[in-house]
A = this chain, B = another copy of it.
Amino acid sequence: MGMMDGIDVLVSEVGPRDGLQSIRPVMPTAAKLRWIDALVAAGVREIEVGSFVPAQLLPQLADTGEVVRAVKARHPSLHVAVLVPNAKGAEAALAAGADKLTLPLSASETHSLKNLRRTHAQVFEEVARIVDLLSAVPGGQRPQFEGAVSTAFGCTLEGEVADTKVVALAERLIALGCDEVGLSDTSGYANPAQVRRLVKAVHAAIGPERMTGLHLHNTRGLGLANVVAGLEVGITTFDSSQGGLGGCPFAPGASGNIVTEDLVFMLEAMGLRTGIAPEGLEAARAVLAEALPGEPLYGFVPEAGLPLGFRRAA
């Protein structure tokens, strides 16, 4: 892919949010900060550090406000992202000083009711409230606001999800005032042909600059194949999780974010710059493993090692 040589790709680490919310142990705040420090040292430029959901729903992320504040203080240039399910969460995210707010909207309304306990109409009301909140923030401090369409490639409860539905939801999110839209393969149903087709359809509807990111799972082993398809149609941001930690606890059978270590290896080997050093990820993985004793960590590259003579993208 000579045509893409040297292109910068943003690997957005979601382990501290998507990974930690999916496992039983609650990682202490100090351990989260050590892990995030190590990720930043490896060159990671964006991290989703938590989710502003009620502590009784996800005790693993109850310290999200504290984490955001501490991380912003330690790493001023890191793009600190958080998940916000509603306007209340967005208020907390604003107060903490997050750089990016991501609101999930499930294309499958069945999944939306199970996951967010809201209909599409109710989610749109929250989006409108958040846009109002953001409009009061002074320009330079206004965080980015992304609407993330989950189950965009199919749903474990509803099955196939029509492209037209995803496109319509993306259009609506932009119309309501989201800065951009992301697509999530929550169920691990996506295939490369579908990724190309759906991304193109969404780009045609809202403009390619409004949809730059994909959140892919490796549930059926197609995660990196889908990344390749995404790259071909102009996607430049990919979510991944160190050690493949996490997935979606509300979609039975669907687990497994794509593994940061494997994704970074692939992109760098392809000549695409991530800014992330594989050796640095190895060190961060050791910090993670120490903080989560007994928790399985995944990944092919951590097992097999880098190829002999491997060089990062120039």
Contacts and interface: CB of A to CB of B under 8 A. Distances in A.
Interface in A224-283: 224-225, 227-229, 232, 253-254, 259, 262, 265-266, 269-271
A1 interface: yes
B301 A221 contact: yes
A1 B196 contact: yes
Given A220-B301, A224-B224, A262-B221, A194 B269 contact: yes
Q: Which of A194, A228, A229, A299 is most buried by chain B, counting CB atoms within 10 A of its CB?
A: A228
A159 interface: yes
Contact of A227 (B194, B220, B225): B225
Contacts of A222: 224, 262, 265-266, 300
Nearest to A153: B307
Contacts of A266: 191-192, 220-222, 225
Contacts of A31: none
A160 interface: yes
A314 interface: no
B197 A307 contact: no
Interface in A1-25: 1-2, 4
Contacts of A194: 269-270
Interface residues of A, number: 47
A309 interface: yes
A35 interface: no
Contacts of A2: 193, 197
A265 B220 contact: yes
A65 interface: no
Given A193-B1, A193-B4, A269-B194, A187 B307 contact: yes
B224 A159 contact: no
A218 interface: yes
A115 interface: no
Contacts of A188: 304
A101 interface: no
A140 interface: no
**A157, A189, A192, A219 — most chain B CB neighbours (10 Å):** A192
A139 interface: no
A138 interface: no
A202 to B, nearest CB: 16
Interface in A274-314: 299-301, 304-305, 307-309
27 contacts: A1-B193, A1-B197, A4-B193, A154-B307, A157-B308, A158-B308, A159-B307, A159-B308, A191-B269, A192-B228, A193-B270, A193-B271, A218-B300, A219-B304, A220-B262, A220-B304, A221-B259, A221-B266, A221-B301, A222-B224, A222-B262, A222-B265, A222-B266, A224-B225, A225-B225, A225-B228, A254-B304
Interface of A: 1-2, 4, 154-160, 187-189, 191-194, 196-197, 218-222, 224-225, 227-229, 232, 253-254, 259, 262, 265-266, 269-271, 299-301, 304-305, 307-309
